[in-house]
Amino acid sequence: MENQPNIVLQAKHITKKFGGVIALSDVNLAVHTGKVNVIVGENGAGKSTLMKILSGVYPEYEGQIFVNNEEVNFSNPKDAMQKGIAIIHQELNLIPYLSITENIFLGREMHNAFGILDSKQMNKKTKELLSRLDCNLNPKTLVSELRVGEQQLIEIAKALLEEAKLVIMDEPTSAISDTEVESLFKIIASLKKQNVSILYISHKLDELFLIADRFIGLRDGKMVGTIENAKEAKKDDLIRIMVGRDIKNLYKKEMVSFGEEVLRVENISLPKITSRSSYLIKDINFSVKKGEVLGVFGLMGAGRTELLEALFGMHSKIMSGSIFIENRQVKIKSVMDAIKNGMGLVPEDRKEDGLVLQMEISKNMSMASINNVVKNGFLSTKLESLLSKKYIEALKIKTPSEKQLSRNLSGGNQQKVVLSKWLATTPKVLFLDEPTRGIDVNAKNEIYHLINDLAKDGLGIVVVSSELPEIMAISDRILVLSDSRITGEFNQENANEEAIMKSAIM
């Protein structure tokens, strides 16, 4: 602290664990007043967790937080708000069918002595707040009529109403258009002039250089360095802070010899529903051989999940391009077609899309291949039990019995149930979308080994992941997606973290 900068918020020795998983470990952070403080780091580095602690979403943690040199203990976001800390989440928290004013004043409405709302006064105040943000929207406009960028602005206005001294922004540009990004940056500049501090998370490096005053690097839940003068920093400096995670504990892939080509896709494109001219994925070409694990890496919004969904028949009405299974072109108009042609998809969100949580493990496992447990037209509990016992044993699923409800399993074991469901269909190609999201380190390792075993059995596997060390450890070949296109391809020899990250932010 040679220049003695003003510090609006200081966090000391912050550690946060989820169950056995350490999300943050001994993090020290100082947020400088009136500056744009940018936190950079890969997915899973702990950025969002840190933000949630600072804004009172997670009240339980080890360590201390000081706001203007006064120690604070937030038990909820409202506490944080009262101390002048506001967070703008990735997903906006506005109520669509209320007006701008009603949203801004939600929970702190102005009213007269009879409890009647003072709309005039509130609208006037809203108008003032909006003009501070150089915005001339009518305060009575419904939020549902606003574009996402404008909605973000409303969130910021809400923070200003509370006289926030520090505004935390979590990936604010991930969902808005380029022109909206421009106006957001203007707003950030004017907030700075009003001496409001910004703590900003993003991994779009290009835009960060436009607004950042200082960079703070986070990796594996630890602070890895700060760059005080952002204007002089180079892209390579940043990439160096972001990558380089400790992977010596991670698993080492066994080599498998490849067979024939099992899947080939040509010119797969998926336009956005809202506009025909922009794309969720564009002109994707690749092929996978039997026994091969193809990794697809990309940052958020690159089109990873959309690619898998498109191949799996979920967007057949708007998708264009051709799919070949074992060199034969197939028409995939629905999920049913995809399954019939030997595909399986382990979705990103296993609780939302993978499992029926209130059903037994055995019923979840037979769900996609239920014909195999039918005897004389009726479901056979015996066949179903046999099937599920086979996979419980093969995948080492920890459960008292196959009748256990899926809800009661740990994340790693739930993921194995979803995998079993697909293995029971005897697929030729398996798509895995973020297969280790939200599961602990040991279970991750088990899943990696499983993927390797399945490849050995001759499956073609496509794994999507936003975790760089993971994708490098488990893939034979890596495709990088950025902004809906393939921007790089790496094999075991030429893959290195910095090169992959460079393609991902192209």
Partner 1 sequence: MTDVKNTLVKFQSIIALLVLCIVLTIMSDKFFTMENGWNIARQISINVCISVGMTLVILTKGIDLSVGSILAFSGAVAAGLLKFGLEIPSINTYIGFTVLGAILTGLTVGGALGVFNGWMITRFKVPPFVATLAMLTIARGATMLWTGGFPITGLGENFDFIGTGWFLGIPMPVWITVVLVVIAVVVTKKTQFGRHIYAIGGNESAARLSGININKIKIWVYAIAGILAAVGGIILTSRLDSAQPNAGMSYELDSIAAVVIGGTSLSGGRGSIMGTVQGALIIGVLNSGLVLLNVSPFWQQIIKGLVILVAVIMDRLNHPNDD
In the beta sheet, which residues pair with residue 17?
22
Q: Is 358 in the site for partner 1 (CB under 8 A)?
A: yes
Q: Provide, rounded to whole angstroms, the least separation between the CB of residue 430 and partner 1.
A: 13
Query: Which of 22, 224, 335, 383 touches partner 1 (CB under 8 A)?
Result: 335
Q: Is 386 in the site for partner 1 (CB under 8 A)?
A: no
Q: Provide, rounded to whole angstroms, the least separation between the CB of residue 167 and partner 1.
A: 33
Q: Provide, rounded to whole angstroms, the least separation between the CB of residue 369 and partner 1.
A: 9
Which CB, 338 or 462, lies closer to partner 1?
338
Residues 6+ apart with CB under 8 A from 83: 67, 72, 74
Reduced DSSP (H G I as helix, E B as strand, rest coil) percent helix, strand, coil of the chain, to 5: 35, 25, 40
Q: Provide, rounded to whole angstroms, the least separation between the CB of residue 241 and partner 1.
A: 38
Measured distance CA(285)–CA(304) in Å, rounded: 14
Measured distance CA(293)–CA(312) in Å, rounded: 18
Of residues 272-331, those binding partner 1 (CB under 8 A): 312, 314
SS3 134: coil
For the chain, the residue count is 506
SS3 472: helix
Q: Is 347 in the site for partner 1 (CB under 8 A)?
A: yes
Contact yes or no for 439/351 (Cβ under 8 A): no
Question: In Å, what is the CA distance from 47 to each residue of 16, 37, 227, 322?
Answer: 12, 13, 17, 39
Q: 477-482 and 293-298 as β-strands: parallel, antiparallel, unpaired?
A: parallel
# chain residues binding partner 1, by CB under 8 A:
27
Closest among 434, 481, 203 to 489, alpha carbons compared: 481
Q: Is 4 in the site for partner 1 (CB under 8 A)?
A: no
Which CB, 403 or 407, lies closer to partner 1?
407
Query: Which of 21, 189, 318, 356 touches partner 1 (CB under 8 A)?
Result: 356
Q: Provide, rounded to whole angstroms, the least separation between the CB of residue 426 and partner 1.
A: 14
Buried b (16+ CB within 10 A) or exposed e, 436-462: bbbbeeebbbbbbebbbebbeeebbbb
| Segment contacting partner 1 by CB under 8 A, of 88-96, 268-276, 295-303, 336-344 | 336-344
The two tokens of residue 411 are 């994340």
Q: Is 336 in the site for partner 1 (CB under 8 A)?
A: yes
| Segment contacting partner 1 by CB under 8 A, of 7-15, 187-195, 287-295, 357-365 | 357-365
The two tokens of residue 490 are 């790496």
Residues 128-167 as x/- pattern, contact with partner 1 by CB under 8 A: ----------------------------------------
Query: Which of 407, 491, 492, 496 touches partner 1 (CB under 8 A)?
Result: 407
| Segment contacting partner 1 by CB under 8 A, of 50-58, 123-131, 347-355, 468-476 | 347-355
In the beta sheet, which residues pair with residue 322?
266
Binding site for partner 1 (CB under 8 A): 312, 314, 335-336, 338-339, 345, 347, 352-359, 363, 367-368, 370-371, 374, 377-379, 407, 421
